[in-house]
Amino acid sequence: MLVVFPELHLFGDGTPDQQRTEALQASAEPLDGPRVTGLKEIARELGIWLVPGSVCERGPEGQLFNTSLVLSPEGELAGFYRKIFPWRPFEPYDPGHEFVTVDLAGFGRAGLTICYDAWFPEVTRQLAWMGAEVIINVVKTTTPDRAQELVLARANAITNQVFMVSVNCAGPTGQGRSIVVDPEGRVITEAASADPSVLTAQLDLSAVEQVRSNGTAGLNRMWSQFRPGEPAIELPVYQGRIDPATWSPALRSTRSIS
């Protein structure tokens, strides 16, 4: 079983905006601190994979990171991801710089993102290329653009042929409307409003390979686009390129810690 909570779920609310940065700084702990130690114990006691939202992490050089955690049923920190795209100018976090996938034994490979990351299509694309079958996007959206985020969840699922799990905080703080989407963009389950709710879904991750083999709607196979020997496509915006030889996703190494 995998249990997922929203972004900054443990931080609480009620802090005035003008004091928010100071409060976030004060709450930050290193990953070997008491907060993560306690979360490890909860995961171990319950025997679950746990994504407790994200936490304020004090980095090794004093940075302030918004960090998503994955705790294993054995009570280990199986992986962590530092938000690459803080919501600027409103968030004070230092940006992370590594894409992260985590192998969940008995479940599959998950890619980790946080809130505003979903607005940058390169993030989900990179994680799908790294072999992620499901993207876990923890969210704390308190603003009306949750409507657009629901579109992004489906779009990211469709264009990368992965499951998308977008878990947002409920009211009275957040807009709620968490959603789970399959690799063809179909909504598996969603919260209809901002009211607090618990969503459950059974994900058959073999659907990812099926959709990529058969095509979305039986037609579109984006990961099989290129033929051997075709030239690379230059992408000046990234000072890089799409290389047909390395285009298709594979089960690649992940960053994990113990």
As annotated, the active-site residues are 7, 83, 115
Tell me the mean pLDDT in the region 15-28: 82
pLDDT in tens, 24-37: 999 999 999 999 99
* Whole-angstrom distance, CA of residue 85 vs CA of residue 7: 14
pLDDT in tens, 73-126: 999 999 999 999 999 998 999 999 999 999 999 899 999 999 999 999 999 999
* Whole-angstrom distance, CA of residue 104 vs CA of residue 2: 9
Q: For residue 65, give the 3-state DSSP assignment.
A: strand
- Specify if 237 maps to a domain: no
Q: How many domains does the chain have?
A: 1
Query: Can you give the CATH number for the domain in which 21 is found?
Result: 3.60.110.10
pLDDT in tens, 22-76: 889 999 999 999 999 999 999 999 999 999 999 999 999 999 999 999 999 999 9
- Specify if 207 maps to a domain: yes
* 8 A C-beta contact, residue 103 and residue 256: yes
- Specify if 238 maps to a domain: no
Q: What is the pLDDT of residue 20?
A: 82
- Specify if 251 maps to a domain: no
Among residues 105, 57, 116, 50, the alpha carbon closest in space to that of 254 is found at 105
- Specify if 244 maps to a domain: no
Q: What is the pLDDT of residue 250?
A: 61
Inform me whether the pLDDT recorded for 256 exceeds 60. no
- Specify if 231 maps to a domain: no
The amino acid at residue 19 is Q
- Specify if 225 maps to a domain: no
pLDDT in tens, 121-159: 999 999 999 999 999 999 999 999 999 999 999 999 999
Q: What is the pLDDT of residue 106?
A: 86
* Whole-angstrom distance, CA of residue 80 vs CA of residue 101: 9
Averaged pLDDT score across all residues of the chain: 93
* Whole-angstrom distance, CA of residue 219 vs CA of residue 135: 23
- Domain with 90, as residue range(s), is 2-218
Inform me whether the pLDDT recorded for 175 exceeds 70. yes
The token pair at 31 is 């990953």
The token pair at 165 is 């799990």
- Specify if 236 maps to a domain: no
Inform me whether the pLDDT recorded for 188 exceeds 90. yes
How many CA atoms are closer than 13 Å to the CA of 221, on its beta-carbon side? 14
